[in-house]
Amino acid sequence: MFKILMSALTAMTISTLLILLCTIISKKSMMDREKMSPFECGFDPKSSARLPFSIQFFLIAVLFLIFDIEIAIILPMLITMKSSNIMNWSLVTCIFMMILILGLYYEWKTNMLEWT
């Protein structure tokens, strides 16, 4: 128990010191209108450089990421099936799959998967 506490304390101390060090030595720059505008060889920009982002594309990308991570979690579960209690393994797997299916059902019902 003492080793775990010391490891956690060491990790927190190092991360806090790094954050403080980066804050102290970081270059502060004044953000004015000229620096925030897009650069087009000194001319005024013809159109907005900040294009609107498609929220449907973002939602599909997040959905893909969630199911990609799901596969990365399920594959080790298949390997541990031989060395685990089959009832506990089945219960955990069913609960995990049920949570994912309910999340997909919720996205389907709220029309997050519609590309219109």
Question: Which residue from 98, 92, 116, 105 is spatially nearest to 63, judged by alpha carbons?
Answer: 105
Report d(CA 71, CA 16) in Å as an integer: 34
Q: Name the residue type at position 88.
A: N
pLDDT computed for residue 43 by the predictor: 62
b/e for 81-95, b at 16 or more Cβ within 10 A? eeeeeeeebeeeeee
Under DSSP, the state recorded for 48 is: -
pLDDT digits (tens, 9 = 90+) for 41-96: 666 656 666 667 777 788 788 888 888 888 888 888 888 888 888 898 889 889 98
Question: Which residue from 86, 83, 106 is spatially nearest to 94, judged by alpha carbons?
Answer: 86
pLDDT computed for residue 116 by the predictor: 66
Model pTM score:
0.48
- Domains along the chain with CATH numbers: 53-116 (1.20.58.1610)
Query: Look-up: residue for tokens 């449907």?
Result: 56
